[in-house]
C-alpha cells in the first residue's frame, strides 16, 4: 500500500475499486476545489488455496477495513468485463458482489463505470492500452507511487468518477490538457507525448 498523510478540509473523498478474485485494486483520492489529491492506493488479495467462499470473505473484509479507515463519501467501481470463459466471468461477478457489499453496507453510494468509459475519461481514448492508463494516472496524480496495475486501474476509476460528478478540472478535453501541462514533471516520456497528442486530437473533433 502507498499512503500520503495529508488531510484537507472542505473536500470530498472517493475510493475507486477494480474488483478481481485474485486481486482487487483500490485507490483513494480527495477532490478539493480544482485539485485531485492522491491519498493512498493498493490491493486486497485473496488466497487461491482457500475455497471460493473463504476468498470472498477475505475480499469483503479487506474492502470493509479500507472503508472504515478512509471514510469515503462515495465509491466507484469498474463494471464487469464479460469474457469468453463463463466460469471466470461467474467468479469475477462473485468477487464484485463481495467487494461492493462493503461500502453498500456502510450506506456509501456506489457508482459503476464501463472500462471504456474510464479510459475515455482518463486518457481520452476508450480503447487505450493499460500502460497508457497508468501513465496518465501518474500524470494526473504526480505524487502517487502506484502499487501495481490493479491499483492504477482503481485510481483511474476514481478519477473517472470525479470527471463525471464534480471536478471542474476534468470536465472537458481542453481543461484536462491544461491541467496536465501545469502539473506534469519536465522529464516527460515519449509515451506521454503520444498520449498528449491523442488528447489534442480528441479535443479537436
What CATH code is carried by the domain that includes residue 147? 3.30.420.10
- Burial of 155 per CB tally in 10 Å (0-12, 13-18, 19+): buried
User: What is the value of pTM for the model shown?
Assistant: 0.76
How many C-beta neighbours within 10 Å does residue 9 have?
A: 5
Residue 78 is a catalytic residue = yes
Residue 149 is a catalytic residue = no
Alpha-carbon gap, residue 187 to 189, rounded angstroms: 6
DSSP summary character for residue 40: E
The angle subtended at Cα 55 by Cα 150 and Cα 79, nearest 5°, is: 45
Which has the higher per-residue pLDDT, 172 or 14? Answer: 14
Of the residues 18, 30, 153, 196, which is catalytic? 18
Tell how far CA 115 is from the center of its chain. Answer: 11
- Which helix (H) or strand (E) segment holds residue 14: the answer is strand 12-18
Of the residues 10, 47, 54, 78, which is catalytic? 78
Residue 47 is a catalytic residue = no
Q: Collapse the DSSP code of 36 into the 3-class scheme (helix H, G, I; strand E, B; otherwise coil) and give the result.
A: strand
- Residue 172 sits in which domain range? 2-204
Of the residues 4, 10, 79, 150, which is catalytic? 150
- Which helix (H) or strand (E) segment holds residue 3: the answer is strand 2-3
| pLDDT tens track for 130-186 | 888 889 999 999 989 999 999 999 999 999 999 888 644 444 444 445 544 554 444
Q: Which three cell numbers stand for residue 32?
A: 478539493
pLDDT of residue 80: 78
- Burial of 38 per CB tally in 10 Å (0-12, 13-18, 19+): buried
Amino acid at each position: 500500500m502507498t499512503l500520503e498523510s495529508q488531510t484537507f478540509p472542505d473536500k470530498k473523498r472517493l475510493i475507486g475499486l477494480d474488483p478481481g478474485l485474485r486481486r482487487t485494486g483500490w485507490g483513494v483520492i480527495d477532490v478539493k476545489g480544482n485539485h485531485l489529491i492522491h491519498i493512498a492506493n493498493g490491493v486486497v488479495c485473496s488466497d487461491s488455496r482457500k475455497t471460493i467462499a473463504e476468498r470472498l470473505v477475505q475480499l469483503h473484509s479487506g474492502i470493509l477495513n479500507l472503508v472504515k479507515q478512509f471514510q469515503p463519501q462515495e465509491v466507484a467501481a469498474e463494471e464487469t468485463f464479460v469474457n469468453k470463459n463463463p466460469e471466470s466471468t461467474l467468479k469475477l461477478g462473485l468477487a464484485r458482489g463481495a467487494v461492493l457489499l462493503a461500502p453498500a453496507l456502510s450506506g456509501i453510494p456506489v457508482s459503476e463505470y464501463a472500462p471504456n468509459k474510464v479510459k475515455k475519461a482518463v486518457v481520452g481514448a476508450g480503447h487505450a492500452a493499460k500502460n497508457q492508463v497508468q501513465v496518465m494516472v501518474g500524470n494526473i496524480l504526480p505524487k502517487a507511487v502506484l502499487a501495481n496495475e490493479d491499483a492504477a486501474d482503481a485510481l483511474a476509476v476514481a478519477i473517472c468518477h470525479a470527471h463525471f460528478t464534480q471536478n471542474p478540472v476534468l470536465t472537458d478535453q481542453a481543461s484536462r490538457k491544461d491541467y496536465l501541462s501545469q502539473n506534469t514533471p519536465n522529464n516527460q516520456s515519449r509515451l506521454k507525448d503520444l498520449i498528449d497528442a491523442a488528447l489534442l486530437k480528441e479535443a479537436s473533433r
